[in-house]
Amino acid sequence: MPVISYELPDRFVAGAVGRPGERAFYLQAREGRRVTSVALEKFQVTLLAERLEALLDEVLRRGGGDAGVPAATPDSMRDDAPLDQPVEEEFRVGTMALLWDPEDERVVIEAQEVGEDDDPEAEIAEPDPAVAVLRVRITAAQARAFAERALRVVAAGRPPCPLCGLPLDAAGHICPRQNGYLG
């Protein structure tokens, strides 16, 4: 399987392109002039950020202060810059994996391309050698910064309906809490 690998990239962020309600979400890694962007769904960005925070909190709880795991994002690591342009999608992410490497004291994130034969009901099979993978190894501080930014990017979309929590469009939305009337 083709693996696009970044060992301690200069930058690893989640970002979005487009207007709220029509945004496309990306993970983007940069090392020098080399940039890789992979597309994913909004919920995948949220889950990755939440799992990263939970993983770092667990490592910290188990004595990760010795491993340099910060409890919060260091100010020097915050990244509010837009995605590097042009955003050229390498592939669309299907599954992701996340782990803490205690030997290197790094977080490893793998984003695997959606396979043609992906069937959520199917039993786990051998990995498809034609499926691409983005593998990124980052420090705990980079992971905290990634998670914080990712959650801000997701929250910058359409505001939620105060009744049902679904996203509001400029023209409102059909609210299930109002029996299908515009909210």
- Tell me, what's the pLDDT at 24? 97
Q: Are 112 and 124 in contact (CB under 8 A)?
A: no
pLDDT tens column, 107-120: 999 999 998 655 55
Query: Per-residue pLDDT tens for 67-106?
Result: 688 888 889 999 999 999 999 999 999 999 999 999 999 9
Task: At 172, list the tokens.
Answer: 């409102």
* Highest mean pLDDT (candidates 88-92, 154-158, 179-183): 88-92
Mean pLDDT of 128-135: 87
Domains of the chain as residue ranges with CATH: 3-178 (3.30.2450)
Q: Is the pLDDT of residue 121 over 90?
A: no
| Rounded Cα–Cα distance for residues 143 and 95 (Å) | 19
- C-alpha span between 27 and 159 (Å, rounded): 23
